Amino acid sequence: MKLSVDERWDIIDKISKETVKFGEYRHTLKDALAEITVKPLTGIPIAIAVLYGFWSFFGAFAGFFTDGFLVKLFDGHWLPWLQDVFPGGLGNWFYSIMVDAGHMESGVLVAADNCFESFGVLTSGLFVAIGVVLPAIIAFYLFLIILEDSGYLPRLAVLIDTVFHKIGLHGFAVVPMILSLGCNVPAVTATRNLETKKQRFMMMTLLAIFIPCGAQLGIMLDVIPEYVGFVMLYLFLGFFVFGFILNELIPGKSPEMILDVPPYHMPTGRNVGRKLWARLRGFFTVAIPFVLLGVVFVNVLYLVGVIDWLANVFEPVLVGWFGVPKETTAPLVAAFMRKDLAVGQLMGIQEQLGMVAFNTYQLVTSVVLVSLYFPCIATVAMIIKEGMQDRGKGVITFLLGSLAVLMAVVFIWGGLLHLIWIILGVA
Amino acid sequence: MNNESKYNIGRIYFAIFGLIVLAFGAAELLLGVTGRSFEWGLLEMSGEFLLWQGIILFSAGAFYLSSFKNFSDIHQQAKVVMASAMIWIVAGMQIFGMILESIPGGEDGGWFNTAEGFLETYAGPYIPELFLLPFSLVVIYYIRLNRQK
């Protein structure tokens, strides 16, 4: 049976009369709150307050577990116990890899007295992964999930849509960007919510270079707490400067965004718990093995002399262009496995060398370099996977393009920081 | 008392409160920009996040003041609610930080804090947001009033 247009409209009228209630809709307080969070004049101060809450919660929660209990546990009990019972002793190669590589003081090899300096798989490796990064990751994801489930995150996307349009992206880019502050790996997958190949290439490249993950943030908060704000500002500035340049250079479209914003609602404990566990499971299965492998990898390179050789080869670039000591080479190698591990190593090296050889500004530059320098191996694997899905055989061009941007960024943005220190007279 | 009178009282209350919040916000902003700190009795304005606290408090004060006209309108009420929520975020995080700080024993102490050390954490001075917090809770009455309407 075929219905005419009029007959169809009659049926629609009949159904709507039975199902739809007609009347005057009155704005509720919830609606009005939803409106003011997306209007720039009121929305930006609210966003600042929310991000302040995010950052304060992150610092207090991670600090409570790390500084309050876990540093004491690892430095005061775990490290001395391992140093006592682990076979081999200082100077033995297996002991160096697993427990404590030791360091030279007046020509004598001495044992480390904290887990940042020991560089062992069971000491530094476990301390970085569980003692520093795990509390930071829990704090980050807990707050992020509450923002997601309450309905604030899509409003933040709408609010900063205009800013992202300046660099050829749109408000949805805030989702991979914020996810990236937790872990770059799911963030690369989240770039699928961007429409064009140009946007996905830009976002993957920019977040892999400029956005530090939660693990790295956690350890930065422990190593250089008073400079984390500056480092973040410098990286975010780089994100937008290079985003603007890439938008001008790369051909392709940047379409407008149409977004259905859900109403605000109270997050449920059950949902928050489930999502938190799902994300933490990823950390336990992917990140922790990479941290431990990273320590083994760097320790083996140290033992066979590769790190020293690389440090000598790259010394002119590291010292001359970036203004950091050649000892930064080992953390840069470790950064390929895990960036949090690399920042932890920087702290250990600074404690060993002392402030004269490795001052605060050099430490800040090194942390920035670790962030800008090659993304961790898990992120690279995900970029290749997403690139292949996006471009098939064109993945090589995609990767070479990303690599070229990366090299340019490291040299320009890293060198610029050195120049800033020179102008300020501290380098 | 009818609703109109209640809203009139609210308008005056939040206008005065907004001025105080705005003044504290401006002071924090100024101190944050110049890198100085201020302490007077139990009141303290210092710390690495002072500038951000100043921006938030100043904005909250501006929200309160901008709701003066047509105070009973739902959009104006939303501004008052959001201004109070901004104060709650800063004050809430300060209290949360204090609670977490009071539990562990510190670098050289035992695993947990002593009773004395625990109580000491809660001793002043306090940031302005903590003093403003109880006065901002009046907004809950107006949220309930809106629901009844």
Best residue of B21, B22, B59, B95 to probe chain A, by most A CBs closer than 10 Å: B59
**Which chain B residue shows the shortest CA-CA distance from A230?**
B48
Measure in Å the smallest separation between the Cα of A423 and chain B Cα atoms.
21
A78 or A335, higher pLDDT: A78
The pLDDT, as a whole number, for residue A368 is: 86
Residues of chain A neighbouring B81 (CB-CB closer than 8 A)? 29, 33
The answer to whether residue A113 sits within a structural domain is yes
Residue A249's pLDDT band (boundaries 50, 70, 90)? confident
CB pairs under 8 A between A and B: 91
Q: Does B75 touch chain A (CB under 8 A)?
A: yes
A36 touches chain B (CB under 8 A): yes
Would the pLDDT of A331 be above 60? yes
Q: Determine contact: A25 vs chain B, CB below 8 A.
A: no
Amino acid B60: pLDDT:
97
Residues of chain A numbered 110-169 and touching chain B (CB < 8 Å): none
**In residues, how long is chain B?**
149
d(CA A98, CA A292): 10
Structure confidence at residue A356 (pLDDT): 58
Cα A187 from Cα A276, distance rounded (Å) = 16
Annotate A35-80 with three-state secondary structure: HHCCCHHHHHHHHHHHHHHHHHHHHHHHHHHHHHHHHHHHHHHHHH
Establish if A167 belongs to a structural domain. Answer: yes
Q: pLDDT for A373-408, tens place per residue?
A: 777 777 777 777 777 766 666 677 777 888 888 888
> Hey, are the CB atoms on B96 and A229 less than 8 Å from each other?
no
A230 has a chain B CB within 8 A of its CB? no
Judge whether A73 and B111 are in contact, CB under 8 Å.
no
Looking at A183-197, B20-34, B60-74, which range is the least confident one? A183-197
SS3 call for A100: strand
Cβ A56–B78 below 8 Å, yes or no?
A: no
Domain membership of residue B18 as a residue range? 3-148
Contact residues on chain A for B103, CB-CB shorter than 8 A: 64, 68
Look at residue A192 in the predicted model and tell me its pLDDT: 77
* Structural contact between residues B86 and B56, judged by C-beta atoms closer than 8 angstroms: yes
Residue A338: inside a domain: yes
In this prediction, residues A401-421 reach a mean pLDDT of 87
For chain B positions 40-69, those within 8 Å of chain A (CB to CB) are 48-49, 52-53, 55-56, 59-60, 62-63
The count of structural domains within chain A is 1
| Range of lowest pLDDT (A147-161, A186-200, A263-277) | A186-200
Q: Is A98 helix (H, G, I), strand (E, B) or coil?
A: helix
| A49/B74 CB distance under 8 A | no
Residue-level pLDDT at A355: 57
Chain A partners of B107 at a C-beta cutoff of 8 Å?
A: 72
Of A29, A45, A57, the CB nearest to B143: A29
Which residue shows structure tokens 């682990």? A86
Q: Considering CB atoms only, which of A32, A52, A61 is closest to B74?
A: A32
Please indicate whether, in this complex, the C-beta atoms of B96 and A28 are within 8 angstroms of each other: no
CA-based radius of gyration for chain A: 25
In a domain, A19, yes or no: no
3-state DSSP call for residue A222? helix
| B85: chain A residues, CB-CB within 8 Å | 49
Candidate from A29, A49, A60 with C-beta closest to B78: A29
Do residues A175 and A157 touch, judged by C-beta distance below 8 A?
A: yes
Q: Exposed, middle or buried, B1 (CB in 10 Å: 0-12/13-18/19+)?
A: exposed
For chain B, how many structural domains are there in total?
1
d(CA A326, CA A340): 19
Structural domain boundaries, residue A264: 28-424
* C-alpha to C-alpha distance for A348 and A353, rounded to whole angstroms: 9
Q: Does position A427 have pLDDT exceeding 90, yes or no?
A: no
* pLDDT-above-70 percentage for chain A: 96
pLDDT of A336 higher than 80: no
Look at strands B38-40 and A108-110 and give their pairing: unpaired
Q: Considering chain A, what is the average pLDDT of its residues? A: 83
How far is A183 from A275, CA to CA, in rounded Å?
A: 15
A353: DSSP letter: H
Instruction: Tell me whether B145 touches chain A (CB under 8 Å).
Output: no
Among A177-191, B51-65, B89-103, the range scoring the smallest mean pLDDT is A177-191
Query: How much is the ipTM here?
Result: 0.95
Chain A positions touching B64 (Cβ under 8 A) are none
Q: Are strands B38-40 and A103-105 parallel, antiparallel or unpaired?
A: unpaired
* pLDDT tens digits for range A126-184: 888 888 878 888 888 898 899 889 989 888 888 888 788 888 888 778 878 877 887 77
Give the 3-state secondary structure of chain B: CCHHHHHHHHHHHHHHHHHHHHHHHHHHHHHHHHCCCEEECCEEECCCCHHHHHHHHHHHHHHHHHCCCCCCCHHHHHHHHHHHHHHHHHHHHHHHHHHHHHCECCCCCCCECCHHHHHHHCCCCECHHHHHHHHHCCHHHHHHHHHHC
Tokens standing for residue B72: 């009973």
Q: Hey, of A42, A143, A150, which one would you mutate to test binding to chain B, going by the most B CBs within 10 A of its CB?
A: A42
Indicate if the alpha-carbon torsion angle A154, A158, A163, A168 is positive or negative.
positive
CA A380, A54, A284, A293 torsion-angle sign: positive
- Does B104 reach chain A within 8 Å, measured CB to CB? yes
Q: Is A382 helix (H, G, I), strand (E, B) or coil?
A: helix
Query: Which chain A residue shows the shortest CA-CA distance from B111?
Result: A69
pLDDT recorded at residue B82: 95
> What's the pLDDT at A295?
80
Contacts of B98 (CB under 8 A, 6+ apart): B121, B122
Question: Do A115 and A79 contact (CB within 8 A), yes or no?
Answer: yes
* Range in A2-6, A181-185, A362-366, B54-58 with the lowest mean pLDDT: A181-185
| Structural domain contains residue A2 | no
Residue A7 lies in a domain: no
A345 has pLDDT over 90: no
Tokens of A182: 């937790």
Helix, strand, or coil (residue A422): helix
Distance CA A278, CA A186 (A): 12
Nearest CA in chain A to B72: A29
Global confidence as pTM: 0.80
